[in-house]
Structure 1
Amino acid sequence: MTTLGKASAQTWWRRPWVGPLAVIAVAFVAFSLPRYLSFDRAISLVKSPDHPWHYPLLVGHVTFGSIAMLTAVMQVWPWLRRNHPKVHRVSGRLYVFAGVLPGGLLALSIGAVSPFGPATAAGDVLGAVLWLTFTVNGLRAARAHRYGEHRKWMIRSVALTFSIIANRLWGVLWVIVLTPQLDTTFGGSELALRQSIAALSAWVSFTSVLVLTEWRLQRKPRRRHHRGQESLVAIRATASE
């Protein structure tokens, strides 16, 4: 086996999270997207407020968000990026222009009138602003050939893309913790309970994901990074001989 082949084989073992991430993305999209492509408001997980434009924008947001989630897996897959850079670039354009940008802009609109209360609306809007900002910064860095910055910005963007899954998990936890307090903390108001669960899920999901992501980006030893860069240069030099 050549040096390049050995490096590619090792990558699979060093990135054991790629496969599970792809499975999670496909499963989440397969569960969520058909519900909205049916255009049946009755089965929507988000009940539209008194705005006729809310539901069509919600369908668009879910559709573009699904594209972002599926292409995000291709963006963070090191083997694909290294061995098929053209596919990486094409999927990257899809991620940005057919996923995050339209999905994020629609999230701003529907988030601002969230039926789950003002606290949830504020969290949704802030999350959308950060999602768009990280992605645009990553795009600009790539076009300026600042690939180290590009990688970090896009990792943050992808983290927010998948924060919707964290939102669902936190939602289950808050339901378990807060429902027994319906008659005490919430005075018997189911509306107050629902809005509290939604607000906590919205805020904790994207902030916790971003904190973990930033911690991971900052803790990576520089020496290990330099060794990786040197190994990659050596591999490319060997492959070109």
Structure 2
Amino acid sequence: MTYTVSKQPAAKTTWLDRPWIVPLLLVVVAFLAFSVPPYLTLDPAQSRLRPPDHNAVYYPALVAHVLFGTVAMTTACFQIWPAFRARYRRGHRITGRIYVFAGALPAGLLGLYIGWHTAAGPSVRVANLVGSALWLTVTLTGLRLARQRRYGEHRRWMARSFALSMSIVLSRVVDVVATIVLTPQVDTTFRGSEDLMRYSAASIGVWLSPLLLLLLTDWLLERRKPRQAATARSEP
């Protein structure tokens, strides 16, 4: 006597299964609507970052970095959206290629140049260089794993790439908080230098934001492991 096991149809994934996707999209849209327009004017005077003196390449590189970063942030939201990934496999692959080749890689490479030539001091310089190098590394690792069809590992590394692409948003929030906290110390800790205080606040933002998001991402990935293992054991 033989028994057959009928495989249950996979449950459909909807955006309601991941309700955080809508707030995430709203945050990204709001951030880009605030941050990008000044650079579309191509006027260096509108830049939110002070260009270094006697460097004609910095501002065009910064504008390109912002535009490529916009592509990366936009497409990244669709990459981590489970419902989009499950329903539109071809769309997932297309947006993934756009994220890598028209977003993260060029933005990361330009970030190395911008980070090296920043006028915000050595701490911000090192943080930008480390952050850009990490972004390039985890993105290329995720791309390599996808081409090897190691999709589980691919998703983990691209989750880290997503975290680094979004660190700029958290960095701006941390920068504001750090500025508020440090402002009363201008006359003491910073000996009357507001520029030094602002550079210190910026340094806190660019160091702390990617670290926090990477830690949060890996914590969430580790939490998913038991559920994934249980699902694998239950499959016939």
- TM-score under structure 2 normalisation? 0.92
What are structure 1's unaligned runs of at least 5 residues?
235-241
Residue 219 of structure 1: which of 223, 226, 233 is its match? 223
The range that moved more, 184-193 or 136-145, is 184-193
Q: Distance in 2 between matches of 1:144 and 1:55?
A: 38
Residue matched to 1:18: 21
Correspondences of 1:69-80 after superposition (within 5 Å): 69-80=73-84
Deviation at 1:33, TM superposition (A): 1.4
Deviation at 1:138, TM superposition (A): 0.3
Residue matched to 1:186: 190
1:37 aligns with 2:37: no
* 1:161-213 CA distance string (max 9 Å, x none): 00000100100110110001100111101121111111111101111111111
What are structure 2's unaligned runs of at least 5 residues?
1-7
Q: Distance in 2 between matches of 1:83 and 1:17?
A: 18
Matched residues, number? 228
Deviation at 1:228, TM superposition (A): 4.2
Over aligned residues, Cα RMSD in angstroms? 1.7
Q: Distance in 2 between matches of 1:153 and 1:81?
A: 16
- TM-score under structure 1 normalisation? 0.90
Deviation at 1:12, TM superposition (A): 2.8
Matched position secondary structure for 1:206: helix
2:199 counterpart letter in structure 1: Q
1:85 aligns with 2:89: yes
2:151 counterpart letter in structure 1: Y
Matched position secondary structure for 1:39: coil
Which structure has the highest helix share of the two? 1
Residue 51 of structure 2: which of 44, 48, 53 is its match? 48
Q: Distance in 2 between matches of 1:184 and 1:209?
A: 32
